[in-house]
Structure 1
Amino acid sequence: MPSFQTRLKITGLKPGNPPEAVMDNAVESLRSRHHVESHQLELAGGVPQLNLRFLVEPTEYSSENSAARESAAVMRDAVERVALTGTLSVLRRSRGRWAPV
């Protein structure tokens, strides 16, 4: 199965939301569409960033990429209910490397 990764920068938390709601919303929304392999929060240049790896059902290469981009957008929308976001990246695992979709 094709493996993808999203990287979403978090620039702030909306009032009244606990920090753990950010990852919970991200994982829940992505899990509703695909199998989530892993998820973590790390600092990238001093800015919190969500990293989620997930599998897309195999079909045709460009369709898989489209499904991954759509799912990343849905995930971002879910996160934006509780946090302010920055850059969103979608990457595909190919020959042992992550390449932008």
Structure 2
Amino acid sequence: MPSFQTRLKITGLKPGSPPEAVMEAAVEALGTRHHVESNQLDLAGGVPQLNLRFLVDATSYPAENHQARESAAMMRDAVERVALTGSLTVLRRSRGRWAPV
């Protein structure tokens, strides 16, 4: 199964949303379609960034990439209910390296 990673910058919380709701929303949304291997919160240039690794069912290379991008967008939509977001990146694991999709 191909492994993908999303990186989503978080620029703020929406009123009434606790910080933990951001990761919960991301994992829950992505988990409806894929197995989420790991999740963590990092600081990238002083900006919080969600990193989630997930598996996509093996089909064809282009279809897998499309499914990963579509799922990442769905995850971003869920997170935007509780937080303000910045850039979203989708990466695919290939030969031991993460490459942009």
TM over 0.5: yes
TM-score (norm 2): 1.00
Q: Which residue matches 1:87?
A: 87
TM-score (norm 1): 1.00
- Distance apart, 1:15 and its partner CA: 0.3
Letter in 1 for 2:51: N
How many equivalent pairs are there?
101
- Distance apart, 1:62 and its partner CA: 0.2
- RMSD across aligned C-alpha pairs, in angstroms? 0.2
In the alignment, the residues of structure 2 paired with residue 81 and residue 7 of structure 1 have an alpha-carbon distance, to the nearest angstrom, of: 17
Letter in 2 for 1:59: T
- Distance apart, 1:50 and its partner CA: 0.0
- Distance apart, 1:61 and its partner CA: 0.2
- Distance apart, 1:99 and its partner CA: 0.1
In the alignment, the residues of structure 1 paired with residue 97 and residue 54 of structure 2 have an alpha-carbon distance, to the nearest angstrom, of: 15
In the alignment, the residues of structure 1 paired with residue 10 and residue 58 of structure 2 have an alpha-carbon distance, to the nearest angstrom, of: 30
- Distance apart, 1:19 and its partner CA: 0.4
Letter in 1 for 2:26: A
Q: Which residue matches 2:97?
A: 97
In the alignment, the residues of structure 2 paired with residue 6 and residue 26 of structure 1 have an alpha-carbon distance, to the nearest angstrom, of: 10
- Distance apart, 1:47 and its partner CA: 0.2
Q: How does 1:16-95 map to 2 (within 5 A)?
A: 16-95=16-95
Percent sequence identity over matched residues?
82
Letter in 2 for 1:79: V
